[in-house]
Structure 1
Amino acid sequence: IELACESSGIPTPKIKWKFNGVDIINQFAVEPNGELVIENSTKNDTGVYRCEAENEAGSDFKNVHSNFIVESPRISTQTNLEPEVLNGHTTILLCQVEGHPPPKVQWLKNGYPVDVKNENYIFQDRNQHFEILQTTVEDSGDYSCIAKNEAGIDDLHFILNVLDPPKFKIPPTSITADQSATVTFDCVAEGEPEPEVHWLSEDLMKFGDRFSILSNNSLRIVAVQVEDEDVYECRIANKLGTNVAYAVLTVQVHGQFSQWTDWSDCSASCGDGLQTRSRTCTNPAPRNGGRACAGSTAEERTCMPRPCPVDGMWSDWSAWTECSQSCGDGLKTRVRDCSNPHPKYEGRHCNGEGMERVLCNAKPCPVHGGWGQWTEWDKCSEPCGEGQQQRHRECDSPVPKYSGDYCSGMIHDKRACKIADCEVNGNWGSWTEWSSCTLSCGGGMRKRERRCDNPPPSNDGKFCPGSDQQIDYCNKEECPVHGKWAEWSAWGDCTLTCGGGQRRRFRTCTNPVPKHNGRACIGVAQETDVCNHQRCAVDGEWSTWSMWTACSRTCDGGTQERRRVCRQPEYGGLACVGDPNQLKKCNTHPCEAKSLQSARASVRGMLNSQAIDAKLVAEVDREPTHGVVTVGKITDLPTTLVQNFKPLLSILAPIYWSTALQVGKVANGFSLTRGEFQQISNVEFMNGELTIEQIAHGIDNEGMLTYDVTLTGSMLNMSEADGNISFVPFTEDYVQTGRNTLYAQSYRSYQLGDSRMPYKWNHTITYNLTLNKMPFLVQQLTIESAEVTYDPANNTLQFIVVSHVSKGEPSNQCPRGFILDPEEAFCADDNECTTLQMCSHFCTNTIGSYVCTCPSGFKLDIDGRNCNDIDECEAGDDVCDGATDSECINTVGSFKCLPKCLEGHRRSLASFECQDINECLEIPNLCSQLCTNLPGSFVCSCKTGYKLSSKSKCEDIDECTENLDNCVPGQVCRNRPGGFTCVNTCPTGFNLHANGSCIDVDECMSATGFCTPPQKCLNTIGSYVCICPKGFKKSNNKLTCIDLNECSIPNICQHDCQNVPGSYRCLCPPGYRLTPDERNCSDINECKEHSMACDPDKQCFNKLGGHECIELSCPPKYFFDPSSKFCMLNCDECSSPHTLQFHLISLPLNFANGSGIIRLTVNNQDGLRLGLTSFNITSKDTASRHFNIRVENGVGVVYSKQTLMEPREYKLKVESKSIDPMFPDVKFQTRFTLFIHVSKYTFS
C-alpha cells in the first residue's frame, strides 16, 4: 500500500510519518518523494496515518485514514458436521466466520435458501448461530453456511439428521378368519432412522413354511389352521428405542355333519311304522363363531314288516223301532253290524249282541188328579183391625200325570178375621190447585192447601206431620211500564219578529220512560206553530248590556244587576222589548248559620202487600275530619217488616247525601238543592224489587229538612230470619244528567248471619231548574260506615251513617252509559239499544245502561246479553205425558215428542229421523285394533297375529308356544307383537342381541375369562386368550409365564445383549457408552471428557473406542500458529511448504468405498482460500493403496478406494500447490499429514 504526501516550501520540507500518533521508524519504507510504502499489509495496519512536513519556516501536517485492509472469509471447522437431534428437540448449527470486512452469512438447505420467516428458525450473531426449534423429520437435510465479503467466499456443509423414535403408522389388528383362509397382519412403522420390523409369537420363531414376511414387513399366513391361533407380536426398533403391538389370530371353524348313522329298527312289529337315523355337527364342530351345520340332524321313513290283524268293530246302532203299545208298557228294538271294519288278518270278531230290546212308554196312559185334605186355618194376618186367614190343599190324591186333568177348584181358601181395633194415623190428602198469583207481574204470591183426611186420624192415631199450606212466589218478571208524555215545553222563540215566523215546542216520553217491554208513547214529540204575523217596522234596539254589578250577598243567595239603553223606534216601530234591567242570583251556597241540622219524614206505602205508616226523625253530627254522621230512627213500623227494613239504608239518602262532608270544591245535596228536591230510588234484590219515592220540601229556620217517603214493591220475607245485619262500606257516583237532574247507582251487599246478600240501588234526583249544576260532571258519595240496630221495647229501628262527598274518578268525563251534551255540559243517557246492539234479541234502554230480554222458550244468559234456549226436556218425564215409548226432543224455543230410537241409533237434529250411530268413529278406543260398524251395533276384530281376548280387546298370538312358526333347525323362534322372528342360535362365546344378531362376549370383563397370574386376559372374537407381560412367554403347559430371551432377536442391540428377567440390557465395548435409546453405542471422547494429559510435544487423538497421544511438533524453520494450529514456515525464500497441517481421523469398521473422509482447503497468509490448488498423495506405503483424493471447487476431498474391512491405522501424506490469482508468479505449498484410525467396531 502506498500513501502519498506532497509538500512544498523553501527550504524543501522534511517528511516524517506517524501511525496512530506514534512515529514510524523502521517497519515501513518512506520514499524520497515522501511516499509511505506498506508491504504485506494486514488488518492490524488499519488506523490513522499522519504526514508531517517541517522546515525552518514552520511545519504542516496531513492525516490519512486507512481502512482498506481486507481479509477473505474463513470458517472454523471445529464443529460436528453431521449432527443428530431427536424429533421435537432443538438443535444449533454454528458457523464461526472470520474476515474483514465482516462477511455476510447465508444458509442454504439442499441448495435453496432457508425460509428466514419460519417461526421455528432463530438466527443470531450475524447469522453465525442458526437454531432450529421443535425439529421434525422434514428438517433433515444438507445445510450449507455461505460466508461472503468483498475479498472472497467460504462455505461449510452440515448433514442434519432428525431422529424419531419408532411408532406404528399401521399397527397390526386382530383377525378372525375361516380355517384354510389366507390372512395378512399389517405392520407399518415410521421413525428415523427407519425402524427394523420383527415378528414373534409366544413360541419364538414358530413360523413354518406357511408363514412368510412380505416386502412391506406384513406377516402372511397361508391356509390357517386351528393350531395357528396365537398372539402375534410386531416389534419395531431403531436406535432411539423399541415399540411393540399385539394382534390375535382367531381361526373360525364352520360346522360340518358327521356321517349318517344306520337306520333304526322299525317302530312297529306290524303295520305302518317309522325308522330314524341321525348325524351330529361334529365333523368338525363349529368353533369361534363359525356357522352351525345347515340341515336337519335326523331323518325318518315309513316301514311295515307285515300287515297287522284287524279286529271287527260294530257299526252304529240303527234307529229304534216304534213302541209296540200306544200307551202303557211296550217294546222297541234296534240293530247293528260287525262291519266297521270287518275282522281280517286273523283279527277278532265283534264282542257283544247285534240286537237290543227295551221297554217303552211311547204314550203313557193319563192319570187325573184328586184333592187331598184342607190344612188348618193360618193365624190372622193383622194384630189389630181387619185381617185375613187362609188354608190350602194339594192336588195329590192322586197327582195328575201323563196328560191327566188337574184338580178343579181353588187350592187356597180365605176368610176375614179381627183380633182388635187399630189406631189410625192421619195422612195428607192431595194438594189443591195453586191459587191465582196476587200480582200479574213484578213478583206476586200464590198458595195451595191440603187436608189431613186420607185417612183422618182415629183410635188415638197421630195427626198429619207438616204444614197444610204452601206459599210460592210467582210472576217474577218485571211489569211493563208504558211510556207517557211529559208536559210540553214552553214555545220557543219565533224565527221572525214580524212578517210571520215559526216557533216549536217539545215533549219527552219520560213520564214515565217505557221499560220492561212497555209501549212507547203514541204521538209526536214536537209541534210547530205560526207566530208574529204583523208587518215589520223599525223597532227600538237595545244597546249592549253593561257589566254585572257586585253580588248583593256573600252567601245564602244574593243578586247581581246589569243595564241597557233602548234607542228610540222610528217609522212606527215598536219600543224595545224586554227589561232595561236584568237580575241574576249569585252566591247561592248556604250560609253556615243555616246548615241542615235535622230531618223528619213520613214513611208510607205497601211492602210485601202490607201497609206502612211510620215516622222517621234524624239528627246530623258534623265531624270535619271524619265525615258527617247521620243518626236516623224509624218508629211505628209493623213488627213483621222490621227485619225487611234493615237493609233499606237509602231511606236516609236525602239526609246523608245532603249533609255529606264536602272534600274539595264539591257540592253536597244541600249546597246543590237548598233542600228542595225529588228523589226516586229503586232497589233490586235477588228475589224482589222495591221503589222508594222521596220528596224533600226544604229546611226551616231551625235547619230541619222535611220530606215524604213512599214505598211500593216486594222483597224476600225476612220476618223469620235470624241474626243482625251489617253493612259493607260502598260508594255511589252522582252524575249530572240534565240542568236540574242527577242519577246515581251503587252495588251493595249486607251480611246476614253467615250469608252475604247483594242488592242494587239507583237514584233519580230532580231539583229547581234555577239552581246551579254540580261543580263536576261526576261526584262520588262515600259511605264510610253504616250500622243498623233495633229496639224491640220501643219498636224503633236506628241507622247510623258516616258520609263524605268528593269529585268522581274521573270527575269531568261521562261514565259508561252516558254521553256528553256539548251545549249544556251534562251527561245525557246513551241509548245502547240503538247504538251498540248489545242484546241478542230484545233490548230496553235504561238510564246509564240497558236491559236485555228474551222471547218465550228462551232465558237470559248469565252475561245479561244473550238469550239461551230453554231445554224443556229437562223438566222431567211429564213433558211428553209420561209416554214410555216417546222421547222429548228440544228445539230452539220449543220441543217435540217423538217415538224413541232403537238401540244403536240416535235422532238427527236436522231431520229428527233415527240414524245409525257409527260407534267406531265416535267412541275413542272402542276396539283395541279393528272396528266394523253394523246397523245399530259394531263388531271388533284383530290384525294378523292377534286374537280377541274379550269383546273388544286383542291379544298377541304367541306363535312360538303354539307351534305356529316355520323356523328351521338351528334357529330359535322369538315371539314379537303380531308375529314372530326366527333367530339363528349363537355359538359359544357369543350372546344373542335384541336385533337377532350374535355379539361377542367380552370374557375378560366377566368372570368367565380367567387367566393364571401374571398372565393377562385379552378378548378375541368368540373367545379370549391369556397373554404374558412384555418380556415373558407362555410355558409349555400354557398356564404360567417364563422369561423371553430377547437377545435371541437379531440386531436387537448394536453390540452385545444381556438377557434379564422380563427384559434385556444392551452392552457397549470399552470406550463407548449407550445412546439414549439404550440400544446403540456412541464413542466416548476421552480427550475432551477425561482431559487426558499428553506430553507438551504431543496431542491427544480421540479414537473410536479409545485415545492416543501423537507427537505433532513443528520441524525446524517452522513455528506453531495457535490460531490455526498449523506449522507455519518462517522463511520467505525457502522452497519448503509454507504450511504443515495435521488431521486426526477415526473411522468405523466397514467404512464404505468412495465415501469422503475429510475436505482439505488451502488459505494464504491473509486467510484467503486459494481456489487454484492441486493435491497429490505423496505416501508410498499401503495407505496410498487404500485412499485417494479428488478436487471439488478447489477443495481436496480424501476418500477410501475400498471398504475398510479390518481395524488398523494409516498415515497419509498429501501435498498441495496453489497459485495466488493476485500474484500469478507466487505459489503456495501446503503439506497435510492425516492420521487415520479404523475401529474394530462398525459403529461410531
Structure 2
Amino acid sequence: RASYHGRSRLIIRNAIEQDAGMYTCIAKNPAGMDTVSVSVVMKVPPRVIVPDSERVVTVAETVILSCSVGGDPLPDIYWTKNGRSIQLGNRIQQLANGSLVIFDSTSSDAGDYKCVATNEAGSSEGVATLSVHEPPMFKIEPTNTTVVEGGVMTMDCVAEGEPQPSVTWQRGWTEIVPGGRIAILPNNSLRIFTVQLSDTGIYRCKASNSLGKTLIEAALAVMVHGQYSDWSDWNPCSKSCGTGNQLRTRECNNPPPTNGGRYCQGPSLDNRTCVVTECPVPGDWSEWGLWSECSTTCDEGVQDRHRVCNIPLFGGLPCVGDRDEVVKCSVQPCYRIPRKGEGNLVGYINNIDLTEGRITALATPTADGTYINATIDNIPPEISGHFQHLISVLNPIYWTLSQEVGGASNGFRLTDGKYNRETQVQFATGEILKMNHYVTGVDRNGVLKFDIIVSGSVPELPVDSEVYLYPYTEDYIQTGPTSLYSHSSRLMRVNGHMLPYAWNHTISYDQSHGVMPYLVQKLTTKDINIKMDQDRQQLMFTFTSQISPDTQSNQCPKGFILNNGGSFCTGLLLRKVTVI
C-alpha cells in the first residue's frame, strides 16, 4: 500500500475467501481528513470432492455416489455417465446435496460417472467408476437336439454376468475335455463330429464367476436308421413235387431304427421257385370249342362242340369224360301263319243281347291273298240281318292272317297274335257301334284265339235285305312303339241303295315285338261274299285279304308328324271318323 501524489492503490495477491470484507480508504492533510469505504465480495470457484473413486456393487443393490462440492456462490451440480448426461427418474435420482442415488442397480448401470459443479467463478468435476457385479445367467441356452448318426452336432451356450463367467461343458456330471471328435468353439458352443449312438445322453452347460455358478441341460438323441441283418437260410420247398416256393427272411435289427430313425429299406421277405421233382401230369382237357351253328334255322335242332385231351406226362392218368357234347337248340320258332281262328262274340246291338255268339274261320293262302272262310253262329234272329255288313267283327282274323306283300308285316308277324283292338263303326244314318277285340295268341293246336265285345246300334235292316259290301282298304299307321291307328271309309249297297259308313281302330301290343317295317301299311279286302242261314242262326263270310306297304309308306299321313327318332307318327289330333 503506497500513496503517491494523493493517489493510493491496495493490491491483494492470491486472494482467498477470508479477504472478503469492508475496506476503507482514509485521506489526510493539514486541512483535514476524509474517508471512503468499499465492500469486497470474494467469489470462490467450485471444488468437487468425490470419495471412493471406484465402487463395486452387486446387481439390485442401491448405489449412492457422493459428490461434496464447495464454492461461492453455491454451484449447480449435474452428473454424466460415460460422457453423456444422465436421465433422472424414479430409479435414478439426484439428492439435494448433489449425490446420485441408483436404486435396483443393473449391469447396464456400470460405467464412469462424473460429477460436474459450476458457478460464476468456474467449474469443477470429480470422477467415480461404478462396477456392477452380476452372477452368471444364460443368454442362449442349449436345446434338445436330434442328429442323424454320422452327422455333426452343435449345442450353443452363451452366458453373461459380471465378471464375465467362464463356460464349461459336462456329459452327465463329468466335465468334457475337448479332443478327437469333440470340440468347444471360441463362442463356447459344443460340437461333436461324426456323431455315434453312444453319444446319446444329457449334456450340461456350466457358467461360473465370482458370484456363483449355474447349469442348464439339454438332451442329445442320435437318430439311427435301421439296417437289415443277413438273410436267413432258405426254407424247405413248399411242394414235394412240381413247382413250389422257398422263403427266407431278414430282420431290421442291425441296428434297429432308433430315435425316429427310418425303418429298413427293401423287403424283409424273399421267395423263389423250387422244383424237387416233377409231379405226374394227368391228361387234361382243353377248353371246349365253340358251339356249332344250330342244325336248323328255326324250331328245334342240335348243335355240338368238341375238346382235345392233352397227353399225360410223368405217368399221369388219361383224361376222364366225353370228347364231344351235343345239345338241342332252338333259334326261333318257324314262322307259320295260323290257318284257323276261333273266338267268342258277346255284347248287345240295338238293345238286343248277344250272349252265345261264336266265330270260326279258316285261312287258305292263294295267289291273290289269304282266302278267309268265316262263320258266325248263335246270332239272335232279331239282329241276324244287321250282321251282314259287320265284316270288321272279323278283323282279328283277316288282319292277323292276311297275306304279306312287299315286305309288309301282318298282325301275326308284328304281335305274335297277341294284342288288343278298339274299333268304332259310324254309319251315315248316325248309328255308332263299338267293338273291343282281345286276341290272346295261338294255342298248342295252332288255332288263333280271341274274344270280341260289341256295344251300340246299327241301321235296322230287314232280314231278307240284299246286302253287298264293296271292296275296301284300311291304312295302318305306327303311332308309337306299341300302338297302331287304322281307319277306313267304306260303301255297302242295301237293296240297291248306297249306304256309306266308316271304321277306325286303335291297336296296342307288347313292345318286345318292335314296330312295323313301314310307317304306313295298307290292308286290302276284296271279293266279299255274304250268306245267311236264318234257321241255323248262322252267317257266313268269304273274302280275300292282303297287306302291303302304303304308296307313301315312309311318310306320316296328313294329321300326323314324325317323332324325333323317326320310328313312328304322332297324331296332332286323333283322326276323326267322317261319314260322307
TM-score (norm 2): 0.48
The structure that is strand-richer by fraction is 2
Bigger Rg over Cα: 1
Higher relative contact order (CA 8 A, sep 6+): 2
